[in-house]
Amino acid sequence: MNTAVPKSTTPWFMLFSRLILFAGIQILFALGFLLAGSTKAWDDSAAWWPISVTIANLVCVVLLVRIFRAEGKRYWELFHIERQHIKGDLLALLGLFIIAGPVSYFPNPLLSTALFGDPQAVLPLFTRPLPTWAAYASIFLFAITQGLAELATYFGFVMPRLEAQGMRPWLAITLPAMMLGLQHIAAPLLFDMRFILWRGLMFIPFAFFAGIVMHWRPRLLPYMAFIHVLMDLSLAPLFLRVAY
């Protein structure tokens, strides 16, 4: 018996929404700097990418809340911890955390070395000076909103709905994982092919890891989201070091 639900374009819209939002909000920042008289408006806008992503995250959360409500569901249920499984989930999480660290970290320096010849060469492009208040605000707001929006969009919403529409599980995992990785080319968007490759590929292994975990045990999403927040908070020293 065919259990697929009627096809909807909403999962496809959400699949590409974050990449579009990242780029679109950076364009708005660049226009603002241009109108303010900047002669390097695009570079100026790139420095504010954590704020751009934070805004995009908030937009995604609002969209998810509305979409879930239209389906008769609650977005916040994605972060509900099932107490009857908490012991087993925490044990699974401990093992997954051991894997998640290397999978999320090592592609960064390896790709930077391969593309730029130096694992640190990307830092001036990636971590640009911001006012101290903006650096603090952007890091904490960025990290928290990432935890609320990113995995929830790709693996709490898009993945199960693509599969429910009849897509094969491996493809329903692959498409969100690829977009989770590729969205980073617009955070920030710089017209440097090596930087684009570095940003676009560096999180692909972690994205597939997260997608497989979420498909295997969806109730781990709140724990994985918390780990995601901690990972993003680890960027704070990089931004604070160059703040002014």
Give the model's confidence band at 6: pLDDT under 50 very low, under 70 low, under 90 confident, else very high.
low
Residue pLDDT, tens place only, 63-106: 999 999 999 999 999 999 999 999 999 999 888 888 888 998 99
Exposure string over 80-107, b if 16+ CB within 10 A, otherwise e: eeeeeeeeebeebbeebeeebeebbeeb
Instruction: Report whether pLDDT(209) > 90.
Output: yes
Token pair recorded at residue 99: 């894997």
**Burial status of residue 39 (CB atoms within 10 A of its CB: 0-12, 13-18, 19 or more):** exposed
Residue pLDDT, tens place only, 104-139: 899 999 999 999 999 999 999 999 999 999 999 888
Q: How far apart are CA 192 and CA 198, in angstroms?
A: 10
CA distances from residue 115 to 180, 193, 209, 244 in whole angstroms, order as listed: 21, 10, 24, 29
- pTM for the structure as a whole: 0.93
Token pair recorded at residue 10: 């909403």
Residue pLDDT, tens place only, 175-205: 999 999 999 999 999 999 999 999 999 999 9
User: Which amino acid appears at position 110 of this protein?
Assistant: L
So what's the pLDDT on residue 126? 94
So what's the pLDDT on residue 137? 87
